[in-house]
Structure formats: structure tokens, C-alpha cells
Structure 1
Amino acid sequence: MHHHSLFLCTSENSCVYYTAFLSIDPPKYYTLHLYWSNSTIQYNIVHLGLSCTGKFRCASGCVSMSAQCDGHFDCEHGEDELSCVRLSGKSSVLQVLIGGVWRTVCAENWDSELSLSACKQLGYLRYVEQKALPLSSIEQDFQSNLVSISMNNTNVQEAIKIHNMTSFSKHLIYFCIACGSRPKFSARIVGGNLSVEGQFPWQVSLHFQNEHLCGGSIISSRWILTAAHCVYGFAYPVLWNVYVGLIDQPVNAVQSLAVEKIIYHSRYRPKGLDHDIALMKLVEPLSFVEPICLPNFGEEFEDGKMCWISGWGATDDGGDVSLHSARVPLISTKACSQPEVYQGYISPGMICAGYLDGGTDSCQGDSGGPLACEDSFTWKLVGATSWGQGCAEKNKPGVYTRITQSLSWIHLQMEVSI
């Protein structure tokens, strides 16, 4: 009998295990609810009946699709009110999910409480800036399917009023955190392609049992983004430390932070290459360090764009102890999927960068570190170092987890853990 299974943890001491027996047509779904306290695990099995075709699936049943993102908790654990807000395109347009359609929020009647509500739904504790700009100034794809806001509510979803015309003159662009800029860094050049202080302030060194294991990127004051293969099988927060502001290994007089929780993508498998992404939540928030910006939904970075990779990995077969960096071009999926490159291995969740003739690449030890691109003086996290073949070999560029394909997962983890 074949079956498909999925775990969903709805709190720190409650998980739901879905299993669908696919030999039944249509498949029947069951859930195994797990509860634990003081090392004791209890469970009960619930038959959910037929699949939720055309409906929204909760952990404990089905609700109408119209219940999703309507401002009311229709699911027992509130799953229907998650992932309801996003920032889209290069313009950073605020959009809300209504009736299964992403709609652009217009600027009329907007206030600071709604701003805070929107940012919290993206996993941020505050907002730093909002701007009302002419509708004509944003990408054409976002100029229809408009919504306005009622002043009677502080919940974004409850306040929505749908308008299918384009009569509004202004829309909202949004910034929940200050990110993507860097101070004027020291002119102390260490030599070669070694990095200088302040060049990549969002770069962190992840130490497992006091040894550097992987790189990572600061995406907010409480969250570090890295690769799933760095933490898979080792997701014990007490064994990890995050070092910020580090140039040289071993550690020397830099900010060290403890880890509260580690989350890797539920679809990541150690024998696979996809969904290679993980998050670490810090016990205490970072101070005086500006994170790198996450890209927005639908934001594209053109092939050939020059970006930067950084990490403490090998520069030859022997490796090194200083933070290195290299400037590399983004490579199209088509070029990276050629037979002589990585045919059959590149998925939509991956992005390639480097030189097909070899010579510059990320190598072992840089896993999880940033592929960072500057766009209009703002640095954005385009990829997280995932895999590759060899080190700077011909036709074997570095492959990175494509951050734009993982935004829903990233913001969901941040939202439920806020």
C-alpha cells in the first residue's frame, strides 16, 4: 500500500502527522496527533474522510476556500490566516490574498497600526517605512485587482474592501526592516580576494560544537538563513553558535549568539538537492548589524548580473581561515542545464552562478552562505550556497537555493514564530 505523509507542528509541543493511503480512490486521509510533555508522547488518530478537494485543509478538517485570509480563524489552529500578505516586484508592492487572488493594496485610509499588522504577518516585529506612490509607477501586473482599507479595523484582512477598477491614484510600497546597506568598510585590504571588514556585514559563521561548519546570512535581528544540509541531523540548537562580524577563523573578539530553534524545509532530503534551505532563530536579537534584504515575490535578477559570494571555504585543496569573496555572474537555468553542465539536476528552486570556464567558485565550507546581488544600492539575498561539483572546475558552476522560490516558506516560519 502506498501512502504520502506530512508533519505539521502547530506549537512547540504539538504536531500533526498526515497520512494519505493512495491505494484508495479517492484517497482517504488520517491524522496522527502527537502531544508531548515531560518526555511522554500521547497520540490519537482522527479520520478526516475524503480529501479536501476545492477546500482549504486545516490540521483537523476542511473549511471553505473563502475562509482563507478573511481575518477570522476558521481552522482550529489558525492555519487559514497564515501567509496572507506579501511584498511583490522590484517596487515592493504590498499585496494581500483574498479569495485565492493576490491583490494590490491602495494607499487610501492606511495607518501605522495596519502597517504593523502587515509586517507581523511577514514575520517582522515592526515596520520602518511606507510610501504612497502613483499607481502608474509600479509594474503593470500589479495595477489591477485592487483593494482599499476600512479604517474601522487594525487587522489587514478584516479591513479589506475589494475594488476591481483602477480608479485609485496611489498604492503602497513597503519596508518592514532596514536592510541591504552597508557602512563604509575599512580600507584594510588583507590581500587577494580576501574580504575586508564591513564588506559583508550580513555574513555569519555557524559553529557546531565550537568548529566552523557553514556560513549563513542575517535576514532580520532574530533570523539567520542557511542551507538545510548544514543542519540536517544536527538540528540541536544548544550545539550551535552564530558568530557575527567575523573575518578570520578561529573566533576572535566578535559577537557570539546562541540559537533558540532550527528549522529546515520539510521537503529537504539528504540524498536530494532541492529545498536546501534552513532558518535559525536566535535567543537574543542582534544589535548594530544590518541584515541583507530578502527579495520580493516575483522579483527577477537578470542572467549575467554580477553578484558576490563569500565564505570561509577552500580556496585550493587546503582551505584557509579568512573570509573570502568573489564576484560571479548569474547563469541562466537553460545554460546551467546543458548536457555538459548539470543536465537534469537544476530545478526551479535553484540558481547557478559562476564561470563556465572555471576559475572562480564557492567551495566546501561555504555551504549556506550568501549569494548577494546589489540592486539600486540595496543588497539582496538571491541565493544560499547549496552544491556543485568539484571546486571551480570547467562547466561546473556553483548552485544555490533560489530565495525567491522559498519566500513563502521563509515568511511562514517567521510568522508562526514571532
Structure 2
Amino acid sequence: MDNTPRYNNAPYPPYPGFNPPVHYGANYQPYTIQPGPPPPSYVIERPPSNKLPFSFFSSRASTIFAILVVIVALIGVALITAYKLNAFGNQTSYYQPAEKCLPNKTLCNGIAECSEGGDEAGCVRFRWDNSLLEVMSRKQEDHWLPVCSVGVANNFASYVCQRFGFHENPTVEVVTVNDNPSNVGLYTSGSSDTIQGSLDSGACSSGRFLSVRCSDCGIQKKSRIIGGTEAGAGDWPWQISLQIHSNGDYEHICGGTIINNQWVVTASHCFTSSVPLSYWRIVAGTINLDQDRVVSSIAAIFKHEKYNDNTDDFDVALLKLTTPLTFTAGVQPACLPMSQQSFNPNTRCWISGFGKTVATLKETSNVLMNTEVGIISTEVCNSPTVYDGAITPRMMCAGDLRGGKDSCQGDSGGPLVCLQNDRWYLAGVTSWGTGCGQTNKPGVYTHVTEVLPWLYTKMEDSRLLPISAAFGLRGKEIFRWREIGDLSCGVEEEEDAFAL
């Protein structure tokens, strides 16, 4: 059991011109390269004196004051100019420009009413527990309908999955639905550049609907976390190490979870420092960072727009990889949970990571550690003796109230996975906690089911980003290219088109 006090990390090592991160509370925080101890400081008290070295209104004082004002002004102009010229590195993917939307916009009606099309993304979900494909009706906001098994193109399921970055052949089944006595569903009605725009509602005469699984995820194809043990090869093939380049080498900062061959889920609080995109990479396919592994650079980083660095609410981020991963026994995706899927209290789940095995250590672990934890109810976790109301609907707690089993610094962004229906689902993203392994201070994880719409929206809305990155576009230029680019030709036509 670890009874260390709340651990507050040092900031990232300073890169020239980069802003240090703000304080975001007592959370696990990304592991950061530890600086040497600061020199001691002393306060020398002197008796008060009314004497000044010179009069403020003297000509000498006025001259010095004027010089200081000019210097400060020049520094300010220089900083603004450097920022405009992107002199602090490519910040492209940390934040997207805010969308401008028409007043009283309607979600998923097949008509883009926001500048970036965000109102027409994230209009698909997969319902627990038969993976029923549902699309929001374009006639009624927040009304979800299943897709008829007949009356749609044969490759419709592939078309849907590819829009979210799933390029495997999907598994498609035909199922009945008990809570739809009228058999109302969706069928192909025409051509559109959105999923919902090509569908219309009506009665499915067969009473049978599409069940779609976009990938063969959550399978351990295998031949220290606080209180944990070393993981075996292939135990957690979706685990990655998020690393940053520093002092001529790469250092582990956070964990993350592969969800398909080009997207990784991690935590927003891993990116509180302004670091060029080219300094980041992910390492996958290994249980020992000193051994053979798969390395990929990152094309884009998306932090949740509502992330609060004081409360760590909405602590989730998406990484889009420059080059898609090749799946092997050691590199596999975890399953995203489905709509309405729940992880009830006392469910036994697992956490893994390359973080610290003891909170007081300076170094993280090169060996992947794992341990079993139990889901703790929000009611218990919000009690005065635990986290006293700090747990929001986007958070979930897991661990052992007796202490001893927990995540720690360096595990941030990593997976909390639970086995359901013989597959491992990403239930949570390691976010924060008081200390590591302390009594009544379990780990707090971003509740992935609660942020599913955001994940799907970002994956669908960012399909053009690798093309933009390949052309070296940055910042608002990427999104302008998306607005004015010809989306009806070339690779996009091949990706989006499906037979009607």
C-alpha cells in the first residue's frame, strides 16, 4: 500500500519558446523528464527604508522607465509575430478552429449547417449487445433507427466502417429487434456525401436489420502498474507508449489504446505543453520498450474541446497515425464500447501501462505492467471519504478502496479494459487520482461510453487530414482545404462511394 502524499509532477522540460503547462490538479499526469533539484532560495529581511536610489520623477528614472516600456513592447510584438509564423512548431493538431454554425442547426439532417460539417458527423452508433447499426433520422434529431437488411447497397456496411477508419472487412449479420414492433428502419433513398443523407425511413417488410462489427477487436491473439505484475507477450496488444523526443532520445510520457489501424485513444492532459507534432511518436507491439517494437509518427492530435484542466472532465484525446498499423499477434485493437453498454460496479477489469511501479520513483517502467481492478460505483467514489463529489458523468472509478492496486504517473491515457461477450472493451482511459495506490483513493478513468459520440465524430470528420498533412498544410489551412477542396474526385471518391 502506498501512502505517499498527492503527487504533483514537474512541468515538461523547457523547449525554446514553448509555454509551460498549467497545473491540472492531483492526477496521474504524463510522466515528465525530471529536472535536477532547484538551487536553494533565501529571503533576506532588511529594515524598512524610505530612501529610494533615485526619485521616480527624475529625468534618469523617466529615461529608464521609457526604455523598459519599449523593450517590453518589442518582446510582445516579437512573440506575437513568432506565433503567427508558427515559430513555436507545428501546433496544427492540438486544437481545431471553432466551427461556425447556422442558428438553430439540426444534427444529422443531411445538410451541412456548420463550417466544418460537424453537425453531420457522428450520426452513427452501434447498439449493445448485438452491435445493431443505428443511424440518426434526418427528419427527427436524436431519433435513432436501425438499417433494413434489404434495400441498401451490399457494401453499405463497409462504407460506414471506412468513414471511421476501420478498413478491415466488417462482420455483418442480420438480426431482429424486439423493441421495434412497427419494424421502422432505414433504406437507401439516393446519393449523398453523408451516411444519413443517403437513407430514408420506412417499414422494413422483412423485420430484419443489419448488425455490423467493423473490426475483429478485443481479442488476445497470443500464442509495474502499482501492485501489478509483468504482462506476458500478447496479453494487451492494444497498449501503446506515447513518447516525446528530448535530449537526443525518446522518453515515455503516457499510454494509449489502439482502436483501429490508424487511431489511438489517450488522455487530453498528456498534451498540456506546446510541443511540435514531429516530436511525438507512439510505440506499439511490445511489452518491453528496450526490445523490438513498432514505431509510428503522429499525423494529428485531437483534444476534447470541453476538456477542463482543473477538474479533468472530458479527459480524452484521439491520435491519428501517419502510417496505418499492420495488425499482428502483438498489435491488435481493443473494442470501443457500444451505445448503452455498461460496466457495472464490481465488474473485474484490467489496467496496464509503462508507468511508475512506486510513486516515489523517478523513472517509469520499461516493462509493461498489469493488474486486475474492480469497477467502483460513482456513488461510492463521490462519497466524502473518497473523492467528495469530484466524479462527473464522464468519469468512472476502478481499483481497490483498500489501496495497493492502481495506476500511477506514466500510465495516463492507457486502457482500462473489461471482458464482455469474449471480447475486451475499452471501458476507461486512465485520467487521475490522488497519489498511487492509496486507501480510499482509487484510480479515476474517463468513461469511454460517455464520450463515444465525440470519438466517432472526430474520426469521421478527420478523414482528409493525412492528405492535408502530406501537403504540409498547417492550422486553419487544413480546414480551409477541406472546405474548398474537390471532395468528389481522387481518393475521396474511391473511399466514400458505394453502389446504390
TM class by smaller structure: 0.7 to 0.9
2:229 is the alignment partner of 1:200: no
1:52 corresponds in structure 2 to none
1:384 corresponds in structure 2 to 429
Larger Rg: 2
CA gap of 1:344–1:60, structure 2 versus 1, over 3 A, is closer
Map of 1:295-314 to 2, 5 A cutoff?
295-314=337-356
Provide the C-alpha distance between the structure 2 equivalents of 1:248 and 1:118, rounded to a whole number of angstroms: 36
Deviations 1:134-179 (A, max 9, x none): 223xxx4x6668323136547642443324x786521211111221
Match of 1:150 among 185, 188, 207: 188
Match of 1:323 among 349, 368, 384: 368
CA gap of 1:63–1:134, structure 2 versus 1, over 3 A, is same
CA gap of 1:339–1:89, structure 2 versus 1, over 3 A, is same
2:85 is the alignment partner of 1:39: yes
Query: How far off is 1:259 after superposition?
Result: 0.9
CA gap of 1:262–1:192, structure 2 versus 1, over 3 A, is closer
Map of 1:86-235 to 2, 5 A cutoff?
86-98=125-137, 99-100=140-141, 101-125=143-167, 127-136=169-178, 140=179, 146-150=184-188, 153=191, 156-163=195-202, 168-185=206-223, 193-209=229-245, 210-234=250-274
CA gap of 1:170–1:245, structure 2 versus 1, over 3 A, is same
SS at match of 1:62: coil
Query: Is contact 1:240-1:258 (8 Å) kept?
Result: yes
Report the residue type matching 1:285 in the other structure.
Answer: P
2:103 corresponds in structure 1 to 62
Provide the C-alpha distance between the structure 1 equivalents of 2:376 and 2:153, rounded to a whole number of angstroms: 42
Match of 1:343 among 383, 388, 393: 388
Deviations 1:339-382 (A, max 9, x none): 10111100000010011111211111111110011111111100
Among the aligned pairs, what percent are the same residue? 36
- The farther-off stretch of 100-109 and 75-84 is 75-84
Provide the C-alpha distance between the structure 2 equivalents of 1:342 and 1:200, rounded to a whole number of angstroms: 29
Query: Is contact 1:214-1:365 (8 Å) kept?
Result: yes
SS at match of 1:366: coil
Provide the C-alpha distance between the structure 2 equivalents of 1:135 and 1:116, rounded to a whole number of angstroms: 22
Query: How far off is 1:247 after superposition?
Result: 1.6
Query: Is contact 2:189-2:199 (8 Å) kept?
Result: no
Query: How far off is 1:416 after superposition?
Result: 1.3
Query: How far off is 1:217 after superposition?
Result: 0.5
2:445 is the alignment partner of 1:400: yes
Provide the C-alpha distance between the structure 2 equivalents of 1:143 and 1:384, rounded to a whole number of angstroms: 38
Query: How far off is 1:402 after superposition?
Result: 0.5
Provide the C-alpha distance between the structure 1 equivalents of 2:182 and 2:272, rounded to a whole number of angstroms: 43
CA gap of 1:143–1:282, structure 2 versus 1, over 3 A, is farther
Ranked by relative contact order (alpha carbons within 8 Å, sequence separation 6 or more), the top structure is 2
Provide the C-alpha distance between the structure 1 equivalents of 2:155 and 2:347, rounded to a whole number of angstroms: 38
Which contiguous aligned blocks of 4+ residues in structure 1 show a shift greater than 6 angstroms? 142-145
CA gap of 1:369–1:144, structure 2 versus 1, over 3 A, is farther
CA gap of 1:366–1:143, structure 2 versus 1, over 3 A, is farther
Query: Is contact 1:102-1:145 (8 Å) kept?
Result: no
Provide the C-alpha distance between the structure 1 equivalents of 2:233 and 2:116, rounded to a whole number of angstroms: 45
Deviations 1:48-84 (A, max 9, x none): xxxxxxxxx972533663xx42334455543332222
Deviations 1:309-339 (A, max 9, x none): 0011222233543111000111111111111
Provide the C-alpha distance between the structure 1 equivalents of 2:204 and 2:170, rounded to a whole number of angstroms: 28
CA gap of 1:298–1:320, structure 2 versus 1, over 3 A, is same
Query: How far off is 1:105 after superposition?
Result: 2.0
CA gap of 1:214–1:234, structure 2 versus 1, over 3 A, is farther
- The farther-off stretch of 97-106 and 277-286 is 97-106
2:291 corresponds in structure 1 to 252
SS at match of 1:61: coil
Higher helix share: 2
Match of 1:237 among 254, 277, 289: 277
Query: How far off is 1:182 after superposition?
Result: 1.6
Report the residue type matching 2:122 in the other structure.
Answer: S
Query: Is contact 1:148-1:161 (8 Å) kept?
Result: yes
- The farther-off stretch of 330-339 and 81-90 is 81-90
Query: How far off is 1:193 after superposition?
Result: 1.1
Any gaps of 5 or more consecutive residues in structure 1?
1-37, 41-56, 186-190
Kindly tell me the number of residue pairs found equivalent between the two proteins.
Answer: 355
Match of 2:118 among 62, 79, 93: 79
Match of 1:266 among 305, 322, 327: 305
Any gaps of 5 or more consecutive residues in structure 2?
1-83, 87-97, 464-500
CA gap of 1:312–1:261, structure 2 versus 1, over 3 A, is same
Match of 2:420 among 365, 375, 380: 375
CA gap of 1:322–1:150, structure 2 versus 1, over 3 A, is closer
Deviations 1:221-258 (A, max 9, x none): 11111111111224532111110122223x33211111
The TM-score normalised by the length of structure 2 is 0.66
Provide the C-alpha distance between the structure 2 equivalents of 1:369 and 1:261, rounded to a whole number of angstroms: 18
Query: How far off is 1:123 after superposition?
Result: 4.4
CA gap of 1:73–1:134, structure 2 versus 1, over 3 A, is same
Query: How far off is 1:89 after superposition?
Result: 1.8
Query: Is contact 1:386-1:399 (8 Å) kept?
Result: yes
